């Protein structure tokens, strides 16, 4: 069967569980995310995100088709929109796009990026990921996560105007050259296990389970006593071996399960 590929051409595109505007948003694609098209209907495409292999349905008008060669070339994109409010690019018709942190700048060269044959002027300094194997810095991951403080919680969200717990973790790490899976339970299967909270380091990722033992929440450790996570909004709370303690509510809200390290 012939393969088809596309790239997200809007700032944020919802990816849904079913081909319907009423269907649940399971995640979001950001500008420059390139995908494989799995199925096509009159309005909807089922796509697989190349970055994290997440599958969902989206309105085809939010994509531009690209060739296999262009799809493969975008695998190596090193240029991203940083944690900033000034991520503006300009299309050749003069229209502006305001990109969310973590958006890719495909085929970036000399201040421009390209979606297929479309050229965009990049009007900000991109975040450039290192190619020499230089490890990410824990302080940079924390700084990028803190950019989202007070952003509202949105199931499936990955941007400043709505983000969920695993989306926050994925974007903070993506901005520092580490690609994690999309959902909390998938992220829990990656990385190296940390034995206990007393051995945890800044930027380690903590996972939390429900009474059935299923991973339902995730956050990034600021230190052994504090965590940044998305719960109602992106916030910082106290953490101990039992879990996250919300001072506003006066109780524990999430039960600690595992800690993983990705650096």
How deeply is 61 buried, as exposed, middle or buried, from its count of CB atoms within 10 A (0-12, 13-18, 19+)? exposed
Kindly report the CA angle at 236 between 235 and 242, in degrees rounded to 5?
120
Taking only the tens place, the pLDDT of each residue in 52-103 is: 999 999 999 999 999 999 999 999 889 999 999 999 999 999 999 999 999 9
Nearest Cα to Cα of residue 221 among 107, 111, 145: 145
Phi, psi of 215 (to 5 degrees): -70, 125
Last residue of a domain, one of 127, 159, 176: 127
Q: How many domains does the chain fold into?
A: 2
Last residue of a domain, one of 74, 95, 127: 127
Q: Which residues in 198-236 are b (16+ Cβ under 10 Å) and which e?
A: eebebbbbbbbbeeeeebbbbbbbbebeebbbbbeebbe
Last residue of a domain, one of 127, 148, 179: 127
Q: What is the C-alpha separation between 207 and 233, in angstroms, rounded?
A: 17
Nearest Cα to Cα of residue 244 among 231, 233, 232: 231
Q: Are 113 and 142 in the same domain?
A: no
Q: What is the C-alpha separation between 182 and 184, in angstroms, rounded?
A: 7
In this prediction the pTM is 0.96
Instruction: Identify whether 132 is part of a domain.
Output: no
Q: What is the C-alpha separation between 189 and 181, in angstroms, rounded?
A: 9
Q: Are 98 and 143 in the same domain?
A: no
**pLDDT for 1:** 65
Taking only the tens place, the pLDDT of each residue in 145-200 is: 999 999 999 999 999 999 999 999 999 999 999 999 999 999 999 999 999 999 99
Q: Are 66 and 117 in the same domain?
A: yes
Instruction: Identify whether 206 is part of a domain.
Output: yes
Position with higher pLDDT, 139 vs 117 = 139
Q: Are 114 and 143 in the same domain?
A: no
Instruction: Identify whether 178 is part of a domain.
Output: yes
Q: Are 114 and 199 in the same domain?
A: no
Instruction: Give the CATH number of the domain where residue 154 resides.
Output: 3.90.1720.10
Look at the alpha carbons of 257, 165, 188, 134 in this order and tell me if their dihedral is positive or negative.
negative
Can you give the residue range of the structural domain that contains 175?
Answer: 138-261
């Amino acid at each position: 069967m012939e393969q088809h590929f596309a790239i997200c051409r809007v700032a944020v595109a919802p990816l849904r569980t079913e081909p319907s505007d009423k269907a649940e948003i399971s995640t979001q694609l950001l500008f420059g995310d390139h995908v494989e098209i799995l199925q096509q209907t009159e309005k909807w495409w089922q796509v697989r995100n190349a970055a994290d292999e997440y599958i969902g349905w989206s309105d085809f008008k939010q994509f531009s088709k690209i060739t296999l060669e262009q799809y493969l070339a975008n695998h190596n994109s090193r240029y991203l929109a940083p944690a900033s409010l000034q991520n503006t690019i300009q299309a050749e018709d003069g229209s502006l796009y305001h990109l969310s942190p973590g958006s890719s700048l495909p085929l970036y060269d000399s201040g421009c990026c390209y979606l297929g044959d479309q050229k965009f002027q990049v009007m900000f300094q991109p975040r450039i990921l290192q190619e020499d194997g230089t490890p990410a810095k824990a302080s940079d991951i924390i700084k990028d996560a803190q950019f989202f403080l007070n952003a509202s919680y949105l199931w499936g969200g990955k941007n400043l105007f709505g983000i969920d717990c695993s989306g926050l973790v994925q974007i903070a790490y993506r901005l520092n050259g580490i690609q994690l899976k999309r959902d909390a339970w998938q992220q829990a299967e990656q990385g190296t296990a940390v034995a206990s909270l007393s051995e945890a380091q800044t930027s380690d990722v903590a996972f939390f389970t429900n009474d059935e033992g299923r991973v339902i929440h995730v956050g990034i450790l600021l230190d052994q006593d504090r965590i940044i996570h998305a719960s109602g909004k992106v916030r910082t709370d106290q953490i101990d071996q039992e879990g996250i303690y919300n001072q506003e509510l006066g109780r524990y809200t999430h039960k600690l399960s595992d800690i993983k390290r990705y650096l």
